[in-house]
Amino acid sequence: STQIQLASRPVGWPTHDDFRRVVVELEPLAPGEVRVVNEFISVDPYMRGRMNDVRSYTPPYALDATMTGGAIGRVTESESTDVPVGAVVSHQLGWRDVAQGDASGFRVVPELPGVPLSAYLGILGMTGLTAYVGLLEIAHLAEGDTVFISGAAGAVGTAAGQIARLRGASRVIGSAGTDEKVALLTEKYGYDAAFNYRSGPVRELLAAAAPDGIDVYFDNVGGDHLEAALDAFSDGGRAALCGAIANYNSDETPAGPDNMSNIVTRGLTLRGFTVGNYLEHFPAFQHDMAEWFAAGSIVFDETVVDGIDNSVDAFLGLMRGENTGKMVVRTAV
């Protein structure tokens, strides 16, 4: 099995020297185990946090050990009756082309006609659920709300914009880092307005896009975007604090918003969450998503990088914004 290990803890932006490719001889299967050939593995922003040796909601990656993360593959050998040969399984043994372990760590998923297996790492999986839970459970999206989503052309962001619209938002505004992504937001993803955050101060760009203010902010970015949202909020506004990618590769203390007093004067609610604590909403998410898919009211993008050996480039590309929608690595040859 070809696997990617963490060789050293990056300071600031990771480099190739922080990772190592190894080829591991796999043991014969023990009773209850399965072997899976991965077809796609996921690279996600939260993995940057796990490369640091700090306490967080997920433990840090160990040095000189193969990294883990979301993956989808097919069972090629099985010593378990629950997870038979041929089954498509979603699991957490990513960053390798072949995975094996106890069958309890592998969830069998249905193959949907016309839907690539990679979708289980994105719109049909944890990223879709993150958007769903963040809007509905954390920000309490209500009909008629004006919603602002940062990181809008990414995996969580593209899902969030569509779910906001499907659940009755009256106006959806997004931000992204290139003009092409901005065009996609209004043309493909149904956003009413969108802006390129590199084209000026986010505060001014958001004020122009949301002249009547915003009710809900879905924060994927933090920093200047959170500051702009705090300015734009109408009274009683709600923010779901999902991520703060603007800070992930910085080795300096990020500057905080300078307008936190708006939280007090406008009676705002800002609530953070990690999707792992809201897995009980997965059935409702799956049910709604299946209906939306069947009705043709959900679209999605993926940026596919080929080859396990290019996993680190895929991860770095994600951090630099080279993806539209979900970034995945295709491991199958």
> By the criterion CB under 6 A, which residues form the site for ligand NDP?
44-46, 127, 130, 151, 153-157, 176-178, 181, 197, 220-221, 242-243, 245-246, 273-275, 318-319, 321, 323, 327
Residue 201: φ, ψ to 5°: -65, 130
Using an 8 Å Cβ cutoff, are 33 and 100 in contact?
A: yes
In the bound complex, what is the minimum distance in angstroms from residue 46's beta carbon to ligand NDP? 5
Q: Which is nearer to ligand NDP, 46 or 292 (CB)?
A: 46
Q: Which is nearer to ligand NDP, 101 or 317 (CB)?
A: 317
Q: Which is nearer to ligand NDP, 33 or 132 (CB)?
A: 132
Beta bridge partners of 77: 35
What's the angle, vertex CA 86, arms to CA 83 and CA 88, rounded to 5? 70
In the bound complex, what is the minimum distance in angstroms from residue 1's beta carbon to ligand NDP? 25
Using an 8 Å Cβ cutoff, are 198 and 175 in contact?
A: no
Using an 8 Å Cβ cutoff, are 204 and 224 in contact?
A: no
* DSSP letter assigned to residue 295: T
* DSSP letter assigned to residue 93: B
Beta bridge partners of 327: 303
In the bound complex, what is the minimum distance in angstroms from residue 289's beta carbon to ligand NDP? 16
In the bound complex, what is the minimum distance in angstroms from residue 24's beta carbon to ligand NDP? 27
Using CA atoms, how far apart are residues 329 and 158, in angstroms rounded to an integer? 19
Q: Which is nearer to ligand NDP, 76 or 250 (CB)?
A: 250
In the bound complex, what is the minimum distance in angstroms from residue 200's beta carbon to ligand NDP? 14
Beta bridge partners of 218: 149, 240
Q: Which is nearer to ligand NDP, 34 or 123 (CB)?
A: 123
Using CA atoms, how far apart are residues 187 and 189, in angstroms rounded to an integer? 6
Residues 6+ apart with CB under 8 A from 78: 29, 33, 34, 35, 84, 85, 103
Q: Which is nearer to ligand NDP, 64 or 179 (CB)?
A: 179
In the bound complex, what is the minimum distance in angstroms from residue 28's beta carbon to ligand NDP? 36
